Amino acid sequence: MTCFRPLALAVLWLIAVPASPGLAGTLEASVGPLKVEEMADRLHEPWGLAFLPDGGFLVTERGGALWRFEAGGSRVQVTGTPQVWAYGQGGLLDVMVPRDFATSREVFLSYAKPQEGGAGTALAVGRLNDAGDGLDDVRVLFEMTPGGARPQHFGSRIVEGPQGHLFLTIGERGHAELAQDLQRHNGTVIRLNRDGSVPQDNPFRGQAGAQPEIWSYGHRNPQGLALAPDGRLWAVEHGAMGGDELNLIEPGVNYGWPVIAYGRHYDGTKIGIGTEAEGMAQPVHFWDPSIAPSGLAIYSGALWPDWAGHAVIGSLKFDYIAVLDLADGSEEGLRSRETGRVRDVREAPDGTLWFLSVKRGGVFRIRPAGTP
C-alpha cells in the first residue's frame, strides 16, 4: 500500500458564499458550484445518519434520542431505542438502515451500553413499527465484553457488507495497549452475521485466546467506515497528534496502534517504535496536522463523475469536508458556514452528499447549484 504524504499547500479551500441566510449557502468546488441546504435543525450532537427508502432519514443524537424525518420535513421521535450510557463520547451513536429495509423494517444502532462500572460499544437491532415512531423487538446483537469506565474512543460506525455481514468499528476506549490484544474487542473492526452470530470464515475464529468477532485490529478510534462500490471496506480513525489515518480494511490485518503510528503523543513524545513494522499495515493516507476525521463515504453517485471513488471525510477539528482522491492523495476541502464540526458524511441514494454538523446542530445536503 502507498502512503500519500499530504501536501498542505495543495488543499483547495472552497469557502461558501452565503446566499439566502438560514436556507442555503453556495460554494465553488472543482466539480462546479454547489449548494448547501439545511434539511433538519435543532439537533443536539447529531452522530449518525441513515436514509430510508421513502425519502426520509434517521438521525441519532449522542444524548440518547433517535429522530425520523419525513421527506416533507416533519420530525417524529422514534422510541424503544436501547438504554445508553451518555457520558463523554458515549451515548447513542450510529444508525444503519439495511438494503432490505422495505421488507425487514430493521434498523441497526450502535451505542455505549451500560455495564457494571462503565460501558461497552454495542450493536442492537429493532424493527421500525408501521407508524414509524417506535422500534419493536429490540435485540442486542453484540456487546464489547468487557468495556470500561473511560468515556472515550467508542468507535461505532456500522456498515452492511456486500454479502450482508455487519461490520462495526470499536475504539480502544482509552487503553491503547489493548488494541494489540486479540483477547479484547478494544481497537478493532468486527464482523458479524446479520443475526449477531460469528461467521465461519472470520480470520481469528477458532484461534485460542482471540475474540472470534474480530476482522481487523490495531485501531485507535475509527469513527468512519464505508463500503466502496467495488466492495472494499475503508475506515478513517482518529490517531494521536498528526496521525489520523485512512485505512483499507482487510481481514486479519493489524493496523499497528500503538506500536506504529505517524502521530506523536500530545506531549510531543514519540509513540511506539516508529512509523512502520513487519506485520503491521501502513495507512493509505494520514493527516498531519490531524483533522479529527468522523464519517466517511466513498463517492459513487452520478452527480459528480470527477469525484467517483474519492473518499469524502468529515473533519471535527477544522470544520470542513475533505474530498480525497485515492489515486494520488490530493485533497480538496469543502468549507461553508454549515460545516462546523462535521460528525458524519453520507452519500444519499440520489448521489447528493449529506452531512451532520455538531456546531450547527443540523443535517445538511450538498447538491449541484442550479438543479432544483
Site for a copy of itself in 105-124 (CB under 8 A): 114-118
Amino acid at 182: L
Q: Nearest-CA neighbor of 367 among 16, 23, 35? A: 35
Told to check if 83 binds a copy of itself by CB under 8 A, we report yes
| Active-site hit among 153, 165, 185, 238 | 153
Task: Tell whether residue 73 is a contact of a copy of itself (CB under 8 A).
Answer: no
For residue 73, the minimal CB distance to a copy of itself (Å) is 12
Output the smallest distance, CB 193 to a copy of itself, in A.
23
Binding residues for a copy of itself, rule CB under 8 A, total 28
What letters, b where the CB count within 10 A reaches 16 and e where it falls short, cover 77-108?
A: ebeebbebbbeebbbbbbbbbbeebeeebbbb
Identify residues 139-178 at the interface with a copy of itself (CB under 8 A).
149
Known catalytic membership, residue 153:
yes
Number of C-beta neighbours around residue 2 at 10 A:
11
Interacting residues of 314 by C-beta distance below 8 A, sequence separation 6+ = 224, 293, 294, 295, 296, 321, 322, 342, 343, 344, 345, 355, 356
Pick between residue 26 and residue 115 the one whose CB is nearest to a copy of itself. 115
| 132 in contact with a copy of itself (CB under 8 A) | no
Beta carbon nearer to a copy of itself, 85 or 257? 85
Closest CA to 309 of 328, 325, 293: 325
Residues near 191 by Cβ (< 8 Å), separated by ≥ 6? 161, 165, 166, 167, 199, 202, 213, 215, 251
Please tell me whether residue 51 binds a copy of itself under the rule CB under 8 A. no
Say which DSSP state 272 is in: T
For a copy of itself, which residue of 24, 35, 81, 355 counts as binding (CB under 8 A)? 81
In single-letter form, the type of residue at position 277 comes to: A
Candidate ranges 39-47, 167-175, 321-329, 345-353; the one touching a copy of itself (CB under 8 A): 39-47
Please state the closest distance from residue 65 (CB atom) to a copy of itself, in A.
Answer: 4
Within the chain, where are the H helices? 101-104
Give the active site residues.
153
Q: Which residues of this chain interact with a copy of itself, rule CB under 8 A? A: 41-42, 44-45, 61, 63-66, 75, 77, 79-87, 90-91, 114-118, 149
